[in-house]
Amino acid sequence: MSILIKNVLLDESIMDVLIQGENIAAIGPELNTEAATVIDGTDKAIVPSLINSHTHAAMTLLRGYADDMELHTWLNDHIWPMEHKLTRDDVYWGTRLACLEMIKTGTTFFCDMYWHMPAVIQAVEEMGLRAMLSSAFIDFGDPKKADKFKQRTTDFFNRQNTTSNRIQFALGPHAIYTVSRDSLVWLADFARERNLLVHIHLSETSREVDDCVAAHGRSPVRYLRDLGFLGPHVLAAHAIWLDDEEMDILAEHDVKIAHLPTSNLKLSSGSFPYRRLSSRGVCIGLGTDGCSSNNNLDMFEEMKFAALARKGLTGNPTAMPAADAWNCATANGARIFNLNGGRIAVGKIADCLLLDLNHPQLVPNYNLVSNIVYSANGDCVDTTICAGQILMHGRTVQGEQEIIREFKSRIAALLQR
């Protein structure tokens, strides 16, 4: 399968871009070649598609279900009781709706952590996206639950769960307050033996830090370091409440971070120390978190919130320039998940977007990155391509109506339980 995109804006120039198979095969001012599909790129810009570094996709099922409260009340009193009722089919349709929303807003890769993993895998396979899927682990300090999750994790990684090369798997210990010390050590060893990424919520609230100091005599980052948990394969979601030494520890261990500005603002979790981490060389990706703490999956909004929150919370308008927000959502995400993408160049994976340069929010076009971060939203995406497959063209995604219909019927059934 080949796609030729003619006369498209790439950086400052009008180019033709040829996609062959899953990769970008050629770029030039006028490519003299044939292709199975030809797209007119006039008045479109080609950019890399967006990388959502941390989400819980099926939480589309809980969009708007519990708002305007802090994390622990939100989780304990509202989200977890409701998640208890979710079936495999709920998660399947919740993830399909999430994938639809991501395709429509220009995201082609997401890092997920959720329940009912086979349902998530099936949804991602069918929707054509790429994903890193983290197998959830929560034992609440109960040895019986710990044994069950260890067995479930071992079985999961001993099976072939997919034949798709678009899907990778990670370990997903939820957080230090929901996973016992023994299990964290077990997971650290398991990750090293099998060369897996470990994805964990970390230092999200001041309460998490206070509770950790009370229980373990040290802060969350020091606790994980002392357990031998930290390393370049660790992805920490949030990482807000850090002192200088903890930032040094994260940098020394080359821990990766998913920054989740909307979730942090909505749950009033705290202010992310972007400059102090990035100046230490820590690789920071951007994510939405789930749809109950955001409440959507639009990474364009996320870039804007990231840049604006930094300025508002620090009083410094240079705190996170547009180019930094863009890099977090593209090249940094590619580095975290080991994707040969994050930019448009020959040999890179064909994960890209065509933005509609006639969309009112993209005119005039003095600076495309400025427009993308501060003006655009997901509606400015005309075409979404992942692994050389066109998932949306002219804002049409195949099967969209069926997904919305089935999703709504799952919600009706869920409310009867």
Q: Which residues bind ligand LTUXU72L (CB under 6 A)?
A: 56, 71, 75, 79, 83, 113-115, 136, 138, 172, 174-175, 201, 204, 263, 289-290, 293
* Cα(219)–Cα(229) distance, integer angstroms: 14
Interaction residues for Zn ion, span 264-293 (CB under 5 A): 289
3-class secondary structure per residue, 280-327:
CCCCEEECCCCCCCCCCCCHHHHHHHHHHHHHHHHCCCCCCCHHHHHH
In angstroms, give the least distance from the CB of 381 to ligand LTUXU72L.
25
Are 135 and 156 contacting, i.e. CB atoms less than 8 angstroms apart?
Answer: yes
* Cβ nearer to Zn ion, comparing 90 with 289: 289
In angstroms, give the least distance from the CB of 272 to ligand LTUXU72L.
13
**Residue 234: CB partners within 8 Å, gap ≥ 6?**
197, 198, 200, 224, 253, 255, 256
Are 202 and 236 contacting, i.e. CB atoms less than 8 angstroms apart?
Answer: yes
Does 174 appear as a known binding residue? yes
Binding status of residue 83 toward Zn ion by CB under 5 A: no
Partner touching 79 among ligand LTUXU72L, Zn ion, none, CB below 5 to 8 Å by kind: ligand LTUXU72L
* Cβ nearer to Zn ion, comparing 178 with 371: 178
* Cα(265)–Cα(271) distance, integer angstroms: 8
* Cβ nearer to ligand LTUXU72L, comparing 18 with 79: 79
* Cα(414)–Cα(411) distance, integer angstroms: 5
Partner touching 293 among Zn ion, ligand LTUXU72L, none, CB below 5 to 8 Å by kind: ligand LTUXU72L
In angstroms, give the least distance from the CB of 71 to ligand LTUXU72L.
6
* Cα(246)–Cα(90) distance, integer angstroms: 39
Number of residues that bind Zn ion (CB under 5 A): 1
In angstroms, give the least distance from the CB of 54 to Zn ion.
6
Supply angle C-alpha 275, 278, 279, rounded to 5.
80
Does 83 appear as a known binding residue? yes
Are 372 and 47 contacting, i.e. CB atoms less than 8 angstroms apart?
Answer: yes
In angstroms, give the least distance from the CB of 144 to ligand LTUXU72L.
18
Does 359 appear as a known binding residue? no
| Residue closest to ligand LTUXU72L when measured from CB atoms | 136
* Cβ nearer to ligand LTUXU72L, comparing 56 with 130: 56
The structure tokens listed for 158 are 């001993």
Does 244 appear as a known binding residue? no
Cis ω on the peptide bond leading into residue 173 (within 30° of 0)?
no
* Cβ nearer to Zn ion, comparing 289 with 301: 289
Continuous segment of H or E residues that includes residue 42: none
- 401 exposure class (CB count in 10 Å sphere: 0-12, 13-18, 19+): exposed
* Cβ nearer to Zn ion, comparing 139 with 289: 289
Are 129 and 96 contacting, i.e. CB atoms less than 8 angstroms apart?
Answer: no
* Cβ nearer to ligand LTUXU72L, comparing 58 with 103: 58
Does 56 appear as a known binding residue? yes
The structure tokens listed for 67 are 């708002």
The structure tokens listed for 179 are 């996973």
Partner touching 114 among ligand LTUXU72L, Zn ion, none, CB below 5 to 8 Å by kind: ligand LTUXU72L
* Cβ nearer to Zn ion, comparing 289 with 324: 289
Partner touching 138 among Zn ion, ligand LTUXU72L, none, CB below 5 to 8 Å by kind: ligand LTUXU72L
What residue has token string 């034992």? 139
How many C-beta neighbours within 10 Å does residue 346 have?
12
Interaction residues for Zn ion, span 284-343 (CB under 5 A): 289
In angstroms, give the least distance from the CB of 401 to ligand LTUXU72L.
28
In angstroms, give the least distance from the CB of 173 to Zn ion.
12
**Which positions lie near Zn ion, rule CB under 5 A?**
289
- Can you say which residues are annotated as belonging to the binding site for substrate? 83, 174, 204, 289
Residues in the annotated binding site for Zn(2+)? 54, 56, 201, 289
